[in-house]
Structure 1
Amino acid sequence: MTTQDTSTRRRVKLYALNADRQWDDRGTGHVTSSYVDRLKGISLLVRAENDGSLLLESKIQPDTAYQKQQDTLIVWSEGDNFDLALSFQEKAGCDEIWEKICQVQGKDPSVDTTQDLVEESEDERYEDLPDSVPPIELPPCEISRLEEISELISQCLNTQIRKEKLAVALEQENYIKKLLNLFHMCEDLENQEGLHCLFEIFKNIFLLNRTQLFEIMFAEDTIFDVVGCLEYDPVAGTPKRHRNYLKQFSKFREPIEIKNPDLLAKIHQTYRVQYIQDIVLPAPSVFEDAMLNSLSSFIFFNKCEIVTLIQEDEKYLDDLFSLLSDLNTPLDKRRDSVLFLKEFCSYAQLLQPHAKEAFYKSLITLGILPALEIILNINDPKIKSASIDILTTIVEYSPSLIRDYTLSQYTNPEHDEDQCLLNITIEQMLSDSEPELGGAVQLMGVIRILLDPETMLASANKAEKTDFLNFFYRNSIHILIEPLLKNTVNDKPANEDYHTVQLLGLVLELLSFCVEHHSYHIKNCIISKDLLRRILVLMKSTHTFLVLCALRFLRKIISMKDDFYNRYIMKGNLFAPVVEAFVQDIKILCTYVVENFGKVFEEIQYVQTFKNLRSKYDQHQDRIKDKEKGFDTMLSNLRNQRYRRDQRQPPEEEEMWFNEEDDFEDVPATASDLDNSISKIMDKKSELINGPIKLHHQHHHHHHQSLQIHGSQQTISSHTVVNTNNSSSSVNESNNNMKSTETVTSSQVQEQEKDETNAVKNATSLTDVSYENTDSSGSKLLAEVLDETPFDNENNSFSDESSSKSDNEVIDNNVKDDSLSIKRNVDKDVSLKKSLVDYEAGDSDEEENGDDSPAQKKQRLA
């Protein structure tokens, strides 16, 4: 036996289980077993194959439980929650180390577990010692005994030693295949109870966490039957059709035929086991999840083996990349090839670091980057998405691979610089047509990693940072900022659709990153292209998030505290677009800025912007004070009007109330017109009634309106008296100040009705009128408080001046309302006068008031 054969046989990969129950690759090396003085015992030693460093030094403890899995794995635990695994390249090497471990512990190498894992309390430990626990006797595998079998397996899950005994019994008696035979019988007989028992049995077998049992269940001839047992979940009710999906709907695609039968079988098995773990098995509880770590390990090592087998088949990889790079490849064939390569790179993430690096270097040697240049430009959603994922995987692992390839393209005089991989990546980001821009966001992350100086290896290549940034700002930056310059030609953004502004937001985020990390290159770009001025045009965008992106870019420049940037900002007055957002009557922001930063802004004298901001703030504060004062006056007037007017109060107060300044500027009526109109109404009312009548009405709030009739050269003014509940009105307000005891005759009442009815008809027949609201004490002050909104008399609310109705329509409606109000007031006066006539005639009032004297009746009526 040669030394080379021994080295190959002992070649292993070391894995450690992390806190997320995932295996971390700790390195590849060669394992030996020898006596270590420091540890005082036989130990396992693993030295790295690249530099000979010590990866593992573990003493073989007599009570440590070692497990051999899949013929090439040895798994054990050291301390609490620290699991280790050695994956051997060859089965012979695994057998040699396993025999050494069993020799130290005095165990039989034919078993797969050297110790029984005990996790129970001290009392249970003594009860469940291997010598005291007899082997598990399984019931006969019959349909009538399924419930008993299910109960037995469920009870064995309580202790670790019984789980081990049960796993051994199931394996030795070939019990799993016997159970699967019962499954076929129960399914043929449609025995639902038996099928439900089989579901519980196989679910608990998975919880035994035994790799040897997994190998039996996941064999080609048994895996579909196991899936069938797991379809009959009693909780779900209706059986799931997982077998139908795996056999008919899931299709295996081979862009190039796989001739290695072991590789083909391993791919099928891994897919099906992954489907069982993710879909078929019920969601595990917290405790059950820890029991399924062997299932995760089974999938993990399968994927690693698949990657290794594919890498060893050089012809297959050559054919694959030839298919990707050929421009004449059919679209379906290319799509399958790209998806295969994406899955291949995904599995490679499980490799150890140095193996990963070798993997990606081999892909680059085979031509994966030129292939990506081709497939990124193909307008197929699946191909583009998969190619972006592949590029992201490579860049996240080693961005230097992409940078080196890009610089090699630049130094090649025959290569078109616009078709280099970096420029294609930028173009694909800007041309993403997805509504959510998922691909653009992913590519932006790729570009950001490539432009990050912290990921550039200065030690390996001292010129990488300088050379790559020179290339980017000389050959690529113009592509990145092209949509930005195109959209900011004028003072406002040219295109405001949501897709465009989202892309501009991504561009601004990349430029902000460049400002922070690229001092010299980005500075020259900003000055030479006047980039900041163009970006600040986006401050006028209707999309708030884009405005904030532009503002963050300016903030990033200011935070650099670079005099070069500061002089550029001062020379171009580039603060102006930002502060305009505050000056444009954004009252809340204006108040916030002045009150918090007013003293700082007062020192800035080279622009007038901050002085205008202070002036706007002062005007706003004065307006608030005026409105508060007017509101207090209005409330005072309203409180005063709640009480009855004193009968002895002089009539001059009413005239002064009419003479207050009106709030509308475009109404022709004046205060003198109102005085004349009121006087005419008062005189006419006095003429209609022979002598003053003393009537004590309930006090009303007054709402005055004037109607100037242009067509007939006649002015009619009404003094409308509105009740507090808006239920009645009267034009007879002046009668409150009259004192009389004269009798009103029936003929006088009839004459009054006739005259006032004619006046109403004349008023309602006229349409060419102008309307003036003179309610200065009420609606005027309230309108000022509510931003000078006009008062709608009809709806008793404030209306918008931009109403769709024309002025003539509003005037006509007001005339009609005033006419109806006059008619109601006339009817009320007639009713009152009729009551006085009836009183003089001694009708119904005398019956109602009993023995009251005529003077008392007259006083009560008044």
Structure 2
Amino acid sequence: GEQPKPQRAKVYRLEKTDDDSSGWTDKGTGYACIDYDEEKKFICIIVTSEKDENVTLLKTKLHQEKIYHQERESLIVWQEPGTEDDLALSFSDKQSCKDFWDRMTEIQMKCKEFDDHDEDEYSDSSDIGVLELPPVNLANLEKIYKVLSNGSPIIQSTLAGSLISEIDYFDQLFDLAEGLDDEDLRRKHICFDMFKKIILLNDPNLLQILFSDKYILRLVEVLESDPDVPLSKRVKHREFLTEHSSFKEVVPIEDKYVVSKIHQTYRVKYLKDSILMGALDDGTQATIDNIIIYNNLEIVSSLQDDDTFLKLVFEGIKETEDVAKVRDLVAFLRNFCDLSKILTEEVRSKYFQNLLEHGLASTFEKAFSVDDPVTQQHVIEIFSQTMLYRDIDVREYILDSTGDTFPLLRIMSEKLIASVDPAVMGQFADIFRRLVDTDNIDTMWRRKEEFLSVVYKFWFPSQLLESMLNPSLDPLACTLKSHLFDLLSFCIARHGSRVRSFITSNNIIEKVLEPNLKGPGFLTLAVIRLFRQVVGDKDTKMEMYLTSKNLYHPIMNTFKEHSDRYNMVNSAIIELFDFINKEYDKNYRLIGYLVERFRNEFENVTYVPIFGQLIQKYELHQDFESQGNQSEPKAGTKRRREEFDEEDAYFNTVSDEPSTPPISEESEENELGAGLPPLKASNKADDEDDEMVVPAKKKRKLQIKSISYHKGVHNNTSVVEANKPPKEE
């Protein structure tokens, strides 16, 4: 344990003077502590000179007898047994004396608990040395248990050192425990508790000895005699580990040290999770976990540097036709990759780089093509971990594949489409998203566009498009399409014109809306998410694609079906129009398209304000159009006009006919034309009524595009004539 701070004190000895009288002689001032004397093998009171730490003013054995007395709160006096020398320590203050006294009496009390042993039984350099344990025999079994069960931190801190220093002590303890008769349950229970106490000492070096090949199985057997478990329910743990639990070497490991670490790690995990589950404190459990982690680190480091071993693993996967053999090899590779999770991010990236350099990527095609669900699960996990750290290397491998069929993409797509397990479909969808996620691609990678070209010219059209457009509402088909729609939504947010071209050229949105909006709820939501992502892209061409093909109609039909259900479909469509209301608030073409077609539906929705706001924006815009040619615009019109953006006005025609709307001299900015670009004014004026005239050749027409329908007649534009105000003379 950690030594308390030495206390400053003066040493006195009672000595005879020349006149045969006695008096206290000052032996000097120093620092007093209680420590173990390596030479004499007992605990001492030691005072070292404050002037020279190499000078010892006092070194005397700390006795268990009650010979020490505290006087006047700063003085400790005693008479040495045998020599009858009178000694005293005078401390600089009361608190220092109290601290030293408490320390001394505590050690005396703890030592007294072991009064069957002499103080010279301590033999290490900790607080009170290392305890010399009783000899191992049946007669001393309870005494040994008593020593190991002592709850004093001071004593427990010495036990681990004592056990380590007497390594044969373990052999004797195990021999004693194994020699007990099965009927001698009391002693077997004592042995169980004794070894449990040894483990709970939580000393890493001691645990390494217990978990070594020499002792681990013997320890497991002793721990079978748990007194808290009835005899009928006790498990033969050693028999399980030696006979039923086997270590399968799918590829021979030549390094015996690595094999030993693999065995030890498995057995220690079994011990922690099965035998001592719930019996370990947090500190001991953390120490055992660290032992497991360090073992795994050694295993990973050794095997990844073994070129011969890695070559055998990868060639075995690629060349063998035995499905069971491939399953075992891939399972081992999965476990090997899982072990690397203890590595730091940078080291783990190099770890996967090393595996790829030895041929990991080439094993994916064979492993994915194996018709075995267990193998599929393992290879999906390996691929996911590889993509997490070396995604560019995987894409490079795909691009460098021989031929133009890109076998890895083709095989994975076929497995996704053929899967009958929705969970596996989700896993494939996840790794596909990682493959096409270009946001995390290094900007220095020059083959990004080449890879995206493969995605949209080969992979999606030839492998996934048919499944996307499949009208079937079979449960598996619906699950597959929902994942593919989400994958396409993911791409829309990242790949710009490439994915838009893929969607429009194959008319995907139109083909998937009608059949899939009538499907189960999760598929309907996937379609709405896809539509919402297209709208959220805010691309003009995609907007025209949606409106020209009237693709909002299926969405509104679905909304009407769910308008009174307040479910996720209803909420998703409301969110879509809320987005349009906020992000397309000045796009009067789209707002006009929606309101003119779905006004009745909008007016029937009163539980959210979104649709009413769209109608209001449409009416304000229409009001502006209708007021454009009036000589006296209304005050409300002037205020609402300011809400419209200049982008909605197109100046594309010129008229020769004069027009002279009145211009207020007080404020030009508040008039209807205030928001329009300024036009040059004439300098001529009428002397009689001071009316300003705009020359006809300078007059322009303000063309505001809109879409309106009246009695089946399509009117694409309305023209509002506008004149600039003339300058005052």
Tell me if structure 2 keeps the 8 A contact 1:458–1:464: no
2:601 match: 613
Which of these residues, 404, 407, 424, is aligned with residue 420 of structure 1? 407
Counterpart of 2:189, as a letter, is H
Tell me if structure 1 keeps the 8 A contact 2:131–2:159: yes
Q: In structure 2, how many angstroms separate the alpha carbons of the residues matched to 1:402 and 1:232?
A: 53
CA displacement at 1:514 relative to structure 2: 0.9
Which of these residues, 427, 452, 455, is aligned with residue 469 of structure 1? 452
CA displacement at 1:208 relative to structure 2: 2.0
CA change 1:397–1:277 in 2 (3 A) is farther
Q: In structure 2, how many angstroms separate the alpha carbons of the residues matched to 1:501 and 1:335?
A: 30
Counterpart of 1:263, as a letter, is V
Counterpart of 1:206, as a letter, is I
CA displacement at 1:137 relative to structure 2: 3.8
- 2:309 aligned counterpart, secondary structure: helix
- 2:427 aligned counterpart, secondary structure: helix
Counterpart of 2:332, as a letter, is F
Q: In structure 2, how many angstroms separate the alpha carbons of the residues matched to 1:131 and 1:451?
A: 61
Q: In structure 2, how many angstroms separate the alpha carbons of the residues matched to 1:264 and 1:588?
A: 62
Q: In structure 1, how many angstroms separate the alpha carbons of the residues matched to 2:382 and 2:219?
A: 35
2:661 match: none
CA displacement at 1:377 relative to structure 2: 0.7
- 2:150 aligned counterpart, secondary structure: helix
Runs of 5+ consecutive residues of structure 2 not aligned to the other structure = 1-53, 55-98, 109-124, 607-729
Which of these residues, 428, 434, 445, is aligned with residue 449 of structure 1? 434
Q: In structure 1, how many angstroms separate the alpha carbons of the residues matched to 2:107 and 2:484?
A: 67
Which of these residues, 150, 155, 178, is aligned with residue 155 of structure 1? 150
Q: Which has the larger Rg?
A: 1
Tell me if structure 1 keeps the 8 A contact 2:160–2:201: yes
- Mapping of 1:211-222 within 5 angstroms? 211-222=204-215
Tell me if structure 2 keeps the 8 A contact 1:207–1:292: no
- Indicate whether 1:307 and 2:294 are aligned: no
- Indicate whether 1:136 and 2:131 are aligned: yes
Q: TM-score, normalised by structure 2?
A: 0.60
CA change 1:233–1:131 in 2 (3 A) is closer
CA displacement at 1:456 relative to structure 2: 0.5
- Mapping of 1:751-830 within 5 angstroms? none
- 2:213 aligned counterpart, secondary structure: coil
Q: In structure 2, how many angstroms separate the alpha carbons of the residues matched to 1:399 and 1:202?
A: 49
- Indicate whether 1:458 and 2:458 are aligned: no
- 1:258 aligned counterpart, secondary structure: coil
The two structures, once aligned, show a CA RMSD in angstroms of 3.3
Aligned length: 477
1:400 match: 392
CA displacement at 1:571 relative to structure 2: 0.8
Q: In structure 2, how many angstroms separate the alpha carbons of the residues matched to 1:397 and 1:257?
A: 28
Tell me if structure 2 keeps the 8 A contact 1:483–1:504: no
CA change 1:162–1:441 in 2 (3 A) is farther
CA displacement at 1:487 relative to structure 2: 1.8
Q: In structure 2, how many angstroms separate the alpha carbons of the residues matched to 1:125 and 1:453?
A: 67
Q: In structure 1, how many angstroms separate the alpha carbons of the residues matched to 2:455 and 2:270?
A: 45
- Indicate whether 1:177 and 2:171 are aligned: yes
- 1:233 aligned counterpart, secondary structure: coil
Runs of 5+ consecutive residues of structure 1 not aligned to the other structure = 1-105, 107-121, 410-414, 489-493, 619-862
2:315 match: 322
2:494 match: 517
- Mapping of 1:314-713 within 5 angstroms? 314-326=307-319, 328-409=320-401, 415-434=402-421, 437-459=422-444, 461=445, 463-479=446-462, 481-488=464-471, 494=472, 496-584=473-561, 586-588=563-565, 604-605=592-593, 609-613=597-601
CA change 1:585–1:383 in 2 (3 A) is closer
1:231 match: 224
- Mapping of 1:172-211 within 5 angstroms? 172-173=165-166, 174-186=168-180, 188-211=181-204
The CA deviation string for residues 794-846 of structure 1, in whole angstroms up to 9 with x for no partner, is xxxxxxxxxxxxxxxxxxxxxxxxxxxxxxxxxxxxxxxxxxxxxxxxxxxxx
Q: In structure 1, how many angstroms separate the alpha carbons of the residues matched to 2:454 and 2:484?
A: 19
Tell me if structure 1 keeps the 8 A contact 2:178–2:222: no
CA change 1:141–1:498 in 2 (3 A) is farther
Which of these residues, 279, 283, 296, is aligned with residue 290 of structure 1? 283
Q: In structure 2, how many angstroms separate the alpha carbons of the residues matched to 1:199 and 1:609?
A: 82
CA displacement at 1:588 relative to structure 2: 4.7
CA displacement at 1:374 relative to structure 2: 0.5
CA change 1:195–1:480 in 2 (3 A) is farther
Q: In structure 1, how many angstroms separate the alpha carbons of the residues matched to 2:367 and 2:496?
A: 35
Counterpart of 2:448, as a letter, is K
The CA deviation string for residues 376-398 of structure 1, in whole angstroms up to 9 with x for no partner, is 11011222221112111211122
- 2:308 aligned counterpart, secondary structure: helix
Q: In structure 2, how many angstroms separate the alpha carbons of the residues matched to 1:585 and 1:396?
A: 40
CA change 1:354–1:616 in 2 (3 A) is closer
CA displacement at 1:606 relative to structure 2: 5.4
CA displacement at 1:531 relative to structure 2: 1.3
Q: In structure 2, how many angstroms separate the alpha carbons of the residues matched to 1:408 and 1:447?
A: 18
2:238 match: 243
CA displacement at 1:354 relative to structure 2: 4.6
CA displacement at 1:617 relative to structure 2: 6.6
Counterpart of 1:350, as a letter, is I
1:857 match: none
Q: In structure 2, how many angstroms separate the alpha carbons of the residues matched to 1:243 and 1:483?
A: 57
Which of these residues, 244, 247, 250, is aligned with residue 252 of structure 1? 247
CA displacement at 1:183 relative to structure 2: 2.2
CA displacement at 1:473 relative to structure 2: 1.3
Displacement over 6 Å in runs of 4+: 122-126, 128-131, 590-594, 596-602, 615-618
Tell me if structure 2 keeps the 8 A contact 1:539–1:546: yes
CA displacement at 1:605 relative to structure 2: 4.6
The CA deviation string for residues 130-149 of structure 1, in whole angstroms up to 9 with x for no partner, is 67524324333334544443
Tell me if structure 1 keeps the 8 A contact 2:439–2:494: no
Tell me if structure 2 keeps the 8 A contact 1:216–1:222: yes
- 1:499 aligned counterpart, secondary structure: helix
Q: In structure 1, how many angstroms separate the alpha carbons of the residues matched to 2:176 and 2:262?
A: 29
CA displacement at 1:168 relative to structure 2: 0.8
2:269 match: 274
CA displacement at 1:298 relative to structure 2: 1.6
- 2:278 aligned counterpart, secondary structure: coil
Q: In structure 2, how many angstroms separate the alpha carbons of the residues matched to 1:373 and 1:125?
A: 71
CA change 1:205–1:583 in 2 (3 A) is same
Q: Give the share of equivalent positions with the same residue, in percent.
A: 26
Tell me if structure 2 keeps the 8 A contact 1:480–1:507: no
Q: In structure 1, how many angstroms separate the alpha carbons of the residues matched to 2:466 and 2:279?
A: 50
Counterpart of 1:185, as a letter, is G
- Indicate whether 1:262 and 2:247 are aligned: no
CA change 1:181–1:475 in 2 (3 A) is same
CA change 1:445–1:205 in 2 (3 A) is farther
CA change 1:576–1:313 in 2 (3 A) is same
| Range 564-573 or range 306-315, more displaced | 306-315
Q: In structure 1, how many angstroms separate the alpha carbons of the residues matched to 2:348 and 2:602?
A: 62
Tell me if structure 1 keeps the 8 A contact 2:491–2:499: yes
Counterpart of 2:128, as a letter, is V
Counterpart of 2:435, as a letter, is L
